Amino acid sequence: MRVCHVCSGHGADDGRVFHRECVALAEAGYDVHLIAKAPGDRPYRDHGVMVHPLAEPASRLRRLIRRTRVARMAARLDPDLFHVHEPELLGPVIARAGARPVIWDVHESYLDILMNRHWIPRWLRPIARRAWDARERQLVRRCAGVVVAMEPIANRYRAIHERVELVANYPEIVWDPQLPNPERNFLACLFTGTIAPNRGISQVLAALALLKARNLKVPLELAGRPMTDGYLCDLLQEADRLGIRDQVHYHGILSKAQTIALQQRGGIGLVPHLSGGNNEAAWPVKLFEFMAAGLPLIYSDISRHREIAGTLCAGIPVDPEKPEQFACAIEQLVSNHGLAQRLGEAGMRAVREKFNWNIERAKLLNLYRELFEPPGCGRAAAN
């Protein structure tokens, strides 16, 4: 069976789309094709997945304009099933799918995200939210199934579709006892992922300045895609103004393997998201990745973060609006290696036992089996 995962904004190295879902399906024997951002203009095979590269769009407008072309690319591959990962592609793909099944993969709470898009005028955001809500409800009725990354999002879609599968964004875990333990800088704080104002990095910079005033110089290792180049420049200028520019190291947009390597060399994982919007609904991927790497966490004291990190005793909660609390938490972990080790081990143990991709992989494969089996034959085939 041929399946096509369709993206426009996600890259071909994306953790959820490629490394988890596409690779899992290819390993299960599906003929998997992925349309996503990647260098070059010729298809290539990676981990059993045929990748069809898209150029980086020059702007959000260009990304929206090309949605019809991307949907046509997917249709020309003649798959037995379409798996869509971005809102602007859902309608165009459904229009070309005919009777073939379409899966809508909901990574985030898009209704909440629309209320935080800085490039949408504030007065227009409620209108855009209502418009997408109505449009999506129409499109979802045509989908064969909905895959969601988080439980609060699942609740919304269960009210409008009968086949909703929660496939959480937990990390893949591979343990090799033959590999040496990485050399860690226990002083280094890490932030990996999207760099945006609602991620609390500005508050972290203020905390580092407070620590420097206490004669404690803590490096901050940043990696990920900035919301805009201008915002990244603003952050670095802010670090310069605070006198800590030499402590802030931006590693750029890393591959998945490079990100994991950076996480394994760090000392403290930062999850400083500000409250509100999608941050209230989401379990940040970095939270689980940091735990998988054995890093103690400093996390925002908001409900979704407490639900994981707090329950597991994997880190220290702080008010994301108060740099003083970040500073105290960092100082506590740096000065108490035993505490940092206990918190890191608690998180790592939880990921190994529960919060890992092996469990979620089975859910995804089961959904695909159900959609491809003739009605009434699933149980008999399983037996």
- For the stretch 4-32, pLDDT in tens is 999 999 999 999 999 999 999 999 999 99
Please tell me the predicted confidence (pLDDT) of residue 246: 98
Strand 268-271 to 189-192 pairing: parallel
Please tell me the predicted confidence (pLDDT) of residue 383: 35
Closest residue by Cα to residue 331 from 215, 247, 223, 242: 215
Number of H helices and number of E strands within the chain?
A: 17, 14
∠ Cα 94 165 76 (to 5°)? 25
Which letter, b or e, does each residue of 245-260 get, where b requires 16 or more Cβ atoms within 10 Å of its Cβ? Answer: eebbebeeebebeebb
Please tell me the predicted confidence (pLDDT) of residue 374: 53
- DSSP conformation class of 310: I
CATH of domain 189-353: 3.40.50.2000
Kindly state the average pLDDT of the residues 144-164. 93
**In angstroms, rounded to a whole number, what is the distance separating the alpha carbons of residues 305 and 310?**
7
**In angstroms, rounded to a whole number, what is the distance separating the alpha carbons of residues 178 and 168?**
29
| pLDDT per position as a tens digit, 252-269 | 999 888 999 999 999 999
**Helix 323-335 vs helix 337-353: crossing angle, to nearest 10:** 100
How sure is the predictor about 112, in pLDDT bands with cuts at 50, 70 and 90? confident
**In angstroms, rounded to a whole number, what is the distance separating the alpha carbons of residues 190 and 252?**
13
Closest residue by Cα to residue 141 from 113, 86, 104: 104
| pLDDT per position as a tens digit, 330-365 | 999 999 999 999 999 999 999 999 999 998 999 999
The domain ranges of the chain are: 2-170+356-382, 189-353
Q: Is the predicted pLDDT of residue 228 greater than 50, yes or no?
A: yes
Task: Please state the pTM of the whole predicted model.
Answer: 0.82
**Contact between residue 320 and residue 275 where contact means Cβ atoms under 8 Å apart:** yes
Greater pLDDT, 332 or 277: 332
**In angstroms, rounded to a whole number, what is the distance separating the alpha carbons of residues 91 and 96?**
9
Kindly state the average pLDDT of the residues 92-98. 98
**Contact between residue 70 and residue 89 where contact means Cβ atoms under 8 Å apart:** yes
Distances (CA, A) of 265 to 38, 117, 293, 294, 337: 27, 33, 9, 10, 15
2-170+356-382 folds as: Rossmann fold (3.40.50)
| pLDDT per position as a tens digit, 285-328 | 899 999 999 999 999 999 889 999 999 999 999 999 999 999 99
| pLDDT per position as a tens digit, 47-58 | 999 999 999 998
**In angstroms, rounded to a whole number, what is the distance separating the alpha carbons of residues 96 and 50?**
21
**Same CATH fold, 189-353 and 2-170+356-382?**
yes
Which letter, b or e, does each residue of 329-348 get, where b requires 16 or more Cβ atoms within 10 Å of its Cβ? Answer: bbbebbeeeeebeebbebbb
- 170: Cα within 13 Å, side-chain hemisphere: 24
